Structure 1
Amino acid sequence: MKKNALLLLIVMCAFAACKKNDTVAPPTIPKVDTLAKTITASLTLNPTTSYVIDGQVFVKNNATLTIPAGVTVSFVKYDDRALKSSLIITQGSKLVVNGTADMPVVFTSAAITKAPGDWGAIVIQGKAPTNVVTGYSAGLAISDDTKFGGTDIHDNSGSINYLRLEYCGGINPDAENEWLVDKVSGLSLEGVGDATMLDHVMVVHSNDDGFQFVGGNVTGTHLIGYNNGDDDFDFDLGYQGKLQFLVSYRTELTSTHALRANGFESYNDEVPTSKAPLTRPVASNLTIIGPQGMETSKTNLNMGVYIRKGTRFVVENSIVAEYPQGGLMVCNKTRPILLAAVESFFKYNLVHSDSVSRTFSWDKDYAVIGDPALQAFALNNVNNNALINASGDLLLKDMYGANGPDLTPTTGSAALTGANFDGADYSAFFTRVVYRGAIGTDNNWAAPSKWAVWK
């Protein structure tokens, strides 16, 4: 009994000593700073500070804005579309984003309850060629600070690594005219040259387009568009860059304003002419998954790949599935260009549509019709596309996983092999893999992570 009492006394004394000498650290208050509306000298943000953009911020005077790994930039929400908070990198200036897989840079809404369209866009204006004399960022006030385009195909507007954009795309009106060049949205790359590099960039819950490539020839790899309101990847006004490993993925439609929300859409200009340089994206290893497996309403959902208004294009070694109205659709201006097989190519792809008869379709006089001639052309032994009758036949690991998709091909999948990189379009930029689609068996780079957030 005495032993127990002595032990209790020792413990109580020790506890009292700890209480007497311990000091309680004050709570850490995160540091927040608001960026100036105009940045005219090179600036590197503090990696331990969070930042706010309130209204339109312009980086000018050949300045470089550098954002270290782990930084979050929040954009103040405004209901007025003309006031939507945005970051604009003007001609000659640069944006350098140095995120990592474990510490991505995040651009998001400052609103407590976040929603698509809370803020505007990241707009990068370069000096590379477009097919307009002088381009101005659609949706922004016309000025020297909103113009883009020039003659330098190797123009350098910076580099972006491991960046996620959330809840942007608020500048387009609900009654947007889909036949005109879209207002800036998501990540808007306007006349940006091929010395600029994008690697691991995700745009999620934009109210409009995810990625916009407006002229220029910027290159990019490992890009994701997720549940955006309009096109995930949109190409206009003479874009001629190279892209590899792209994911376009939808489980729902987050916007009601888009006339046609597609995975990949390209056109040459507002009036379908042969205005040079011709829009001609060269893209390999895409995985484009529509929402048919999850979404019962088909309103405004359209095509995996939609090619229109005189554009040229190359889409190869890819997977297109689960769109309600078609896998590939061409218009009356682009159909003969594709069938000529000189400037446009759609080859070595696995293609599915909810409507099997419209897997390969034609936008004829505003009516979407199945195109047997286009289908026969696509499936011939030169183009080597394959029609997939049911998306489950693709044998992807978990197309609609609860925590995000796993688009890895499994044993027996046709996507494991069949890629082909023959032809003049495939420069040293491309990684010559054997699989089709954006994901191979050795590196699921789009798996749920601190960077790729599927929520």
Structure 2
Amino acid sequence: MKKSVLTLFAVASLSFAALTVSCSDDDKGTPSNPSSFVLDRDNLKGNINDGEVILESGTYKLTGKLVVNAGAKLTIKPGVIIEATDVAPGTSDIRYIAISQDAEINVQGSSSNPVVMTSTTKAPGKWGGLVICGRAPINKGASAQAEVGDNLTYGGTETGDSSGSIKFLRVEYSGYSYNQDKEFNGISFFGVGNGTTVENVQIYEGSDDGFEFFGGTVNTKNLVVTNINPSAVGDDLFDWTEGWNGSNENWYGKRSNAGNRGIEADNNSNNHLATPISFPIIKNLTLVGAGPDDTSGEAQAMKLRVGTKAKFDNVVLANWKTGFDVQHDESVGYVGTGDLKATNVKFVNVTTKSKGTGTTAGTTPDVSAIYTESTTATGAGNGENTPTWAQGWTLGL
């Protein structure tokens, strides 16, 4: 009997050891579906065409474009740094990361250990940023090609399409410009579906828009954009077009340089009534500008135009020349129907709360019904100051 007990104990010990090894292998990031992609920490670029590639720890040098193609997955563990190297003069080997339709990204950062995508030279516009293409609806056509990257296809009919999960990511110094009309953003969402998770993400010191949504249905939570550098002007903090419909919570944007607006919002510049019509919902929003004396000419907290709809609630707008700038008859009309509306708005040091401009030159409709005021609005959580949820993993706040 004693022998049997000892035997059972030995078997149990071996089983536990085997289990421990198995868990340890998982912790090391061994992919369940290995990729044929050859991973080189000092030369990260190319096409991931199959399986899962896992970036484990430390720094990876992004030396060109990294494209994750259909059926493949890129997983990035907490604390990983992806550093885009400088583009050699006279070359066009742009550094950026793109997630194609039917591919996935899985960013596993944490508040104490975020994933960071940055550049060797710490200045705005030094690399392309992150581009994600999904199969959710757009109003530019049944599908389209992304304006940056390798003309990747985006758009479709799958509102619940998933491009993966992004949690606790900081994107720094993005916004590389091919020319005046073709620039990367911090993160570009092209037809991304609401099966995708986007939470706790900051765009820091980009030279173009922070987050831009080209159609799609993706939802977001806890987004931050910070533009400070006066010598490399950023564009808008948040931007949408082409029929984006998403539900969002906790956006905080701060611009102290001579960049553009807090939000630039469009439906479709070629057809203001193109469907699906842009109609996001944003709850808990703070936009901080450079001050009402800003001479950049674009000192609007929000420019809402070419047929966009939107609903905002619990909003703080601080240090802007204009709060709500509504343009074109279609968007002006949505103010009257309540489809373009901001409730519980607190204005802090804003010269003109609302301004309307019709499609016909010289028409200035009254759009003051776009907002209702509240002296107790908290915006993203702490008025014009850094919200608690953004502390610890962000920069420049």
Q: Say if 2:332 and 2:358, in contact at 8 Å, map to a contact too.
A: no
Q: Tell me the alpha carbon deviations over residues 80-116 of structure 1, each in whole angstroms, 9 at most, x when there is no partner.
A: 69532110100000010000011000000122xx211
> What residue number does 1:264 align with?
263
Distance 1:109 1:282, change over 3 A: same
Matched residue, 1:196: 196
| Local SS of the residue matching 1:33 | coil
1:290 corresponds to 2:289: yes
Match of 1:91 in 2: 101
Contact 1:108 1:166 in 2 (8 A): yes
Contact 1:187 1:212 in 2 (8 A): yes
Instruction: Describe the SS at the equivalent of 1:286.
Output: strand
> Which residue of structure 2 aligns with residue 185 of structure 1?
185
Q: Which residue of 2 aligns with 1:225?
A: 225
How far apart are residue 303 of structure 1 and its match?
0.8
CA 1:339–1:49: 2 relative to 1, 3 Å:
closer
Structure ranking higher in strand proportion: 2
Deviations 1:364-411, CA, capped at 9 Å, x for gaps: 57999986x322x24xxxx5325xxxxxxxxxxxxxxxxxxxxxxxxx
What amino acid maps onto 2:319 in structure 1? E
- 1:290–1:323 CA contact under 8 A, matched in 2: yes
Q: Cα 1:104–1:319, aligned 2, differ >3 Å: closer, same or farther?
A: same
- Give the drift of 1:159: 0.6
Work out which of the residue numbers 105, 111, 116 in structure 1 matches 2:115: 105
The match for 1:350 is 346
1:300 Cα offset (Å):
4.1
User: Contact 2:284/2:314 (CA < 8 Å) preserved in 1?
Assistant: yes
Pick one of 359, 370, 374 that aligns with 2:353.
359
How far did residue 339 of structure 1 move?
A: 2.8
* 1:41 and 2:50 correspond: yes
Structure 1 match to 2:159: 153
d(CA) in 1 for partners of 2:362, 2:211? 25
TM-score, normalised with respect to structure 1:
0.71
Q: Following the alignment from structure 1 to structure 2, what is the Cα–Cα distance between the partners of residues 244 and 37?
A: 35
Question: 1:45 Cα deviation (Å)?
Answer: 2.9
Judge conservation of contact 2:45–2:64 (CA < 8 Å) in 1.
no
Aligned residues, how many? Answer: 349
Secondary structure at the counterpart of residue 45 of structure 2: coil
Match of 1:444 in 2: 388
| Residue from 227, 235, 242 that aligns with 1:237 | 242
Match of 1:166 among 158, 165, 172: 172
- Which of 121, 146, 149 is matched with 2:129 structurally? 121
Deviations 1:206-248 (A, max 9, x none): 1000001111110110000111701111011010011110001
Let me know the Cα RMSD of the aligned residues: 2.6
What is the aligned partner in structure 2 of residue 384 from structure 1? 372
* Residue in structure 2 matched with residue 215 of structure 1 by the alignment: 215
- 1:322 corresponds to which residue? 319
In the TM superposition, 1:422-441 aligns within 5 A as: 436-440=378-382
- Residue 54 (structure 1) shift: 1.4
Change over 3 Å in CA distance of 1:185–1:131 after alignment to 2: same
1:151-171 deviation digits (Å, cap 9, x = unpaired): 100001001000000000012
Matched, 1:339 2:328: no
Note the 1:71-82 alignment, pairs <5 A: 71-78=80-87, 82=92
Shift of 1:439: 1.1
Q: In the aligned structure 1, how far is the partner of 2:61 from the partner of 2:86?
A: 11
Partner in structure 1 of residue 26 of structure 2: none
Q: 2:307 aligns with which of 282, 301, 310?
A: 310
Aligned to 2:367: 374
The runs of 5 or more residues in structure 2 that have no matched partner are 1-39, 228-232
Deviations 1:398-433 (A, max 9, x none): xxxxxxxxxxxxxxx622xxxxxxxxxxxxxxxxxx
CA deviation map 1:288-313 (0-9, x unaligned):
110118xx652244211110111111
Shift of 1:363: 3.6
Distance 1:316 1:88 in 2: 33
1:417-455 per-residue CA deviation (whole Å, 9 max, x = no partner) reads xxxxxxxxxxxxxxxxxxx300159971123x2x21117
**Equivalents in 2 of 1:74, 1:366: separation in Å?**
48
Q: Deviation string for 1:277-296 (max 9, x for gaps)?
A: 11111111000110118xx6
CA distance in 2, matches of 1:46, 1:272: 43
- In the TM superposition, what are the counterparts of 1:392-431 in structure 2 within 5 Å? 414-415=376-377
- Counterparts of 1:172 and 1:207, CA distance in 2: 12
Equivalent residues of 1:32, 1:49 under 8 A apart: no
Q: CA deviation at 1:337?
A: 2.3
- 1:274 CA displacement: 0.7
CA distance in 2, matches of 1:331, 1:338: 11
* 2:157 partner letter: T
Report deviation, 1:317. 1.3
Unpaired runs of 5+ in structure 1?
1-30, 177-181, 256-260, 387-412, 416-435
Residues 96 and 368 of structure 1: is their aligned pair in 2 closer, same or farther, counting only changes over 3 Å? Answer: farther
Task: Please tell me the residue identity of whatever aligns with 1:345.
Answer: K
Aligned partner of residue 323 in structure 1, secondary structure: strand
1:50 paired residue number:
59
